[in-house]
A and B are shown apart, each in its own frame.
Chain A
Amino acid sequence: MRSGVCVAHGGLKLGGLLRVVREVWDARHLTYELARADLIRHTSRLRLGILWWFLDPLVLALIYWGLVDQLLGRGESIHPRYWLFLFLGLIVWKQFAQCLSGCSGVYNRRQGLIKNLAVPLVTLPGSVVVQTFHLFVQAILVVIVFLGISGGVSLGWIQLLGLLGIQFITMFGIGLMVAAPMARQPDLRELVPHFLKVLFYLSPVLYSFGLLQAKLEGSEYLGWLNVYILVHPVGDLIDAYRHVLLDDGVLSLNGWVILVARSALYFLAGCFLQDRFQRHLLEGIR
């Protein structure tokens, strides 16, 4: 620990929130270091090591191409390249699911560290987010290489940088939102896999929100669907990746504003909950 002041919690909630935001920024190198160690630890068990970072999405892509496109010939009514449509949805979903389940128990798994070292707590969910995001980037690279070889490079892909940034901040927020509140709630952690299963079918992985909106056109439920789309953590993001990569589309300004605002809200909500529950967490765990 470097020089610093460590004061009791309390006082202005905004101050606590800003403290967590600052902690996230100040501890970014350590967060990276922990994520790096975890990635090395994971690949050290594998004979092919870091090759799996690329092989894993490649195998997944091959399965979907072989099964959905070649064998079943499904999904053309949803998208002409349905297997890629599905693959893009799955890799974003996979990061979200890994992030949520990984962060929900991270303080319990790392009790030894927390009890003995002055490690900033945000680095622990942060390292889960960085790891899963790293693996997501490898998967998106596989898609980019495939699309580049099969159809040429598009200038519109530059938008991916913005989408990646938005995704990272959203996931960081979600990681912080679940990490501290769930640390003392083992029963709630047991529900996470079930929650994810339900949310999977309520997310635009197998379909798109646009398709649902078209089906509900004129219905009284359309308003509810639009609200749901607005709060869904990754729904718009999945559609945005597909729009940019598969349709060579350009996202509207409105779309960008919604994506940025939502990621900022998730992040701030994560920081708020982290600050709110950290005290109880520390009183119990350390």
Chain B
Amino acid sequence: MLSAKSVSVRLRKWNDSDGKWHWALRDIDLNLVEGDRLGVVGRNGSGKSTLCRVLAGILRPTQGSVSSQGTVVPLLGFGAALQPELSGVQNVRLMARLLGCSVGDLDHIQDEVVRETELGSWLHEPVGHYSTGMRARLAFIVATSISADVLLVDEALGAGDLAFRKRAMQRLTMFMQKARVLVMVSHQLQEIQKNCNKVVWMEDGKIRSLGATDDVLQQYKEAMHSDRGAG
């Protein structure tokens, strides 16, 4: 359903005038089939998010190829699609279309957004008038209203009030369960343990270990402890 063959990605910073390149990913091979729930762990800068972006089709590999079947929904910085001058309803339409939703599904998504966000008449106001929490709520509900065959989650949400965050976690869990393939990037090892049946440990843009959740997490924890001990 989702595979990466010998994927390498070379990057440089957007405004880096001296033009230094670095390999964010090197020779990544992954093959995920229906039912796979892959957790991605690693230190900051190890290539977790880049891997997620390549698998989502946001980033094109410099070498190798990524192929996917079905609708791929990336739950990354989905709030970036929101346009402050447009109303909530107009943003729902735009965001849903950007996430790959067909025109026929728009009504169903609008209904779900009205029901789940509880934003009421705010939905007809420009999003620029919303609070940060309201914006995050809107973006999150739209993104999780689209049925995903392959779901990519890079660090779960943190915005919104406490009551909503609780409900959002329940919704995210259900959303992840419905997806046929899940890729989850997180520093929260309990989340990975709870939701994933496979884990890949990334280090310096390469796969250091790939296997069953318990085994890889154990190796990862030991390495972290020994690093801390050495430090």
Contacts and interface: CB of A to CB of B under 8 A. Distances in A.
Interface of A: 1-9, 29-30, 33-34, 37, 40-41, 44-45, 111-119, 278-279, 282-286
B74 interface: yes
A22 to B, nearest CB: 15
27 contacts: A1-B68, A1-B100, A2-B70, A4-B57, A5-B68, A6-B67, A7-B64, A8-B64, A8-B65, A37-B86, A41-B85, A41-B86, A111-B14, A114-B58, A116-B74, A117-B80, A117-B81, A118-B57, A118-B72, A119-B98, A279-B62, A282-B59, A283-B10, A283-B12, A284-B11, A284-B12, A284-B14
A115 B66 contact: no
A114 B21 CA distance: 20
A5 B81 contact: no
A157 to B, nearest CB: 33
Interface in B1-41: 10-14, 16, 21
B83 interface: yes
A112 B77 contact: yes
Contact of A2 (B13, B56, B71, B93): B71
Nearest to A279: B60
Contact of A44 (B94, B103, B126): B126
Nearest to A121: B60
B58 A117 contact: yes
Contact of A37 (B10, B59, B71, B90): B90
Given A6-B65, A117-B99, A40 B59 contact: no
A5 B78 CA distance: 22
Interface of B: 10-14, 16, 21, 53-54, 56-72, 74, 76-78, 80-81, 83, 85-86, 90, 93-94, 97-100, 103, 126
A1 B73 CA distance: 7
Given A37-B83, A284-B12, A5 B66 contact: yes
Given A284-B12, A286-B11, 4 more contacts: A1-B74, A9-B60, A112-B77, A118-B100
Contacts of A117: 58, 74, 76, 78, 80-81, 98-99
Contacts of A111: 14
A64 B94 CA distance: 38
A286 B65 contact: no
Nearest to B91: A37
Given A40-B86, A282-B59, A283-B10, A115 B80 contact: yes
A244 B90 CA distance: 39
B60 A282 contact: yes
A34 B59 contact: no
A248 to B, nearest CB: 41
Contacts of B70: 2-3
Contacts of B56: 1, 118
A1 B71 CA distance: 6
Best-surrounded residue of A34, A37, A282, A284 (most CB of chain B within 10 A): A37
Contact of A33 (B54, B71, B94): B94
A30 B97 CA distance: 7
Contacts of B81: 112-113, 116-117
B61 A6 contact: yes
Given A4-B57, A33-B94, A283 B85 contact: no
B1 to A, nearest CB: 9
B86 A116 contact: no
Contacts of B71: 1-3
A5 B11 contact: no
A278 B56 CA distance: 17
Best-surrounded residue of B10, B12, B13, B97 (most CB of chain A within 10 A): B97
Given A2-B71, A30-B97, A117-B98, A7 B61 contact: yes
B67 A4 contact: yes
A286 B53 contact: yes
A283 B62 contact: yes
Nearest to B50: A286
Contacts of A112: 77, 80-81
Best-surrounded residue of B58, B65, B80 (most CB of chain A within 10 A): B58
B85 A44 contact: yes
Contacts of B67: 4-6
Nearest to B64: A8
A56 B66 CA distance: 48
B58 A3 contact: no
A184 B77 CA distance: 23
Contacts of A41: 83, 85-86
